[in-house]
């Protein structure tokens, strides 16, 4: 090993500070002390010969050199995590070990927990790690073993299965409709408390593509968290969007303008091509394909 190459734990400390924004926050994440974190950052800076952080009123911010280092450090973290899962997984032909699944906030928070409960009953020796993120994790880099995505995977090397379409539409809680009239057309939405996005431009582009006459300023409740929007809808804050399959599980949620406005999303399950021979990954992949196919059927307008 090259004695001039910094140890991995120094890069891990660097990533923890980047994510936490402070030495104390990073120390809590890694279950160590603030002085230890400070020494590790100083050792990494000395080894690389650059300053990695600058202090501001917002905490520790990466310098230009620090920003350039982040992708490489994240790749190292992904490789280390992949190695950990591989070591914990036993033999490739055994139904045991750890599987890391990444999914969107709503699918991961609302749909997968019940499905994975059934999976655990079938395969109790397989531990599941679930990452909720609307960002498409890099399977080829080892960020996760299995991905449930709402768009077609862009990496051609992945093994991906299209599940089908999931429909989503507007809903309102019965408590809200007791105090407000049901909208009869899209124009009536302007008279209601609407639940929508905050700063994420992707949500804005999606609304524009649907041709809906809504802008960010029209939302009375704004959040880029899909789970927060769903919670506000269930609390009776106003009118918001939900997948049909999720809304149908709550009798208090009433469809709004479904004859005028419904939008559809693709669902895909993907794995790294090298993982097809690993039984725990293949079992997880096949199970999710089967169960999500059933869920997609309940999430269509005609269901």
Contact indicator for 275, 219 with CB cutoff of 8 Å: no
For the chain, the first-to-last Cα distance in angstroms comes to 60
User: In this structure, are 202 and 54 located in the same domain?
Assistant: no
pTM: 0.66
In this model, does residue 92 exceed pLDDT 60? no
- Which pLDDT belongs to residue 76? 80
pLDDT tens by residue, 3-45: 566 788 898 899 889 988 899 888 888 888 989 999 999 999 9
User: In this structure, are 176 and 247 located in the same domain?
Assistant: yes
pLDDT tens by residue, 173-221: 999 999 999 999 888 988 999 998 887 756 655 565 555 666 777 899 9
Question: CB neighbours of 292 closer than 8 A, spacing ≥ 6?
Answer: 111, 115, 148, 163, 267, 269
Q: What is the mean pLDDT of residues 157-183?
A: 91
DSSP bridge partners of 251: none
pLDDT category of residue 134 using cuts at 50, 70 and 90: confident
* Cα–Cα separations (whole angstroms), residue 103 to 4, 24, 212, 297, 302: 39, 30, 27, 19, 25
% pLDDT > 70, the chain: 83
Tell me the C-alpha distance between 236 and 170, whole Å: 13
Segment holding 159, helix H or strand E: strand 159-173
In this model, does residue 140 exceed pLDDT 60? no
- Look at residue 3 and tell me if it is in a domain: no
Quote the number of domains for the chain: 3
- Look at residue 291 and tell me if it is in a domain: yes
User: In this structure, are 77 and 94 located in the same domain?
Assistant: no
What are the DSSP calls for 82-94, one per residue? HHHHHHHT--TTS
234-254 as b/e: b if 16+ CB within 10 A: bebbbbbbbbbbbbeeeeebb
- Which pLDDT belongs to residue 180? 96
Tell me the C-alpha distance between 148 and 106, whole Å: 11
- Look at residue 58 and tell me if it is in a domain: yes
pLDDT category of residue 1 using cuts at 50, 70 and 90: very low
């Amino acid at each position: 090993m090259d004695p001039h190459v910094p140890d991995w734990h120094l890069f891990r400390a660097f990533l923890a500070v980047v994510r936490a924004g402070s030495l104390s926050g990073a120390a809590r994440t890694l279950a160590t002390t603030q002085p230890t974190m400070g020494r590790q950052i100083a050792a990494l800076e000395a080894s690389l010969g650059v300053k990695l952080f600058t202090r501001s009123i917002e905490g520790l911010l990466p310098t230009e050199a620090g920003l350039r280092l982040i992708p490489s450090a994240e790749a190292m973290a992904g490789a280390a995590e992949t190695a950990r899962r591989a070591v914990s997984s036993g033999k490739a032909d055994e139904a045991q070990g750890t599987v890391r699944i990444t999914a969107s906030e709503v699918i991961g928070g609302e749909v997968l927990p019940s499905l994975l409960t059934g999976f655990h009953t079938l395969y109790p020796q397989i531990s599941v790690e679930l990452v909720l993120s609307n960002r498409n994790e890099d399977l080829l880099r080892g960020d996760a073993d299995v991905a449930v995505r709402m768009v077609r995977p862009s990496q051609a090397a992945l093994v991906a299965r299209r599940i089908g379409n999931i429909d989503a539409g507007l809903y309102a809680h019965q408590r809200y409709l007791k105090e407000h009239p049901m909208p009869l057309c899209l124009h009536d939405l302007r008279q209601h408390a609407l639940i929508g996005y905050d700063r994420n431009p992707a949500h804005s582009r999606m609304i524009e593509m649907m041709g809906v006459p809504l802008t960010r300023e029209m939302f009375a409740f704004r959040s880029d968290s899909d789970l927060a929007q769903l919670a506000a809808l269930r609390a009776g804050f106003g009118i918001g969007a939900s997948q049909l399959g999720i809304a149908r599980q709550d009798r208090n949620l009433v469809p709004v303008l479904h004859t005028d406005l419904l939008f559809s999303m693709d669902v895909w399950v993907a794995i790294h091509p090298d993982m097809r021979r690993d039984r725990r990954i293949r079992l997880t992949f096949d199970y999710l394909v089967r169960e999500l196919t059933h869920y997609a059927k309940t999430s269509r307008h005609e269901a």
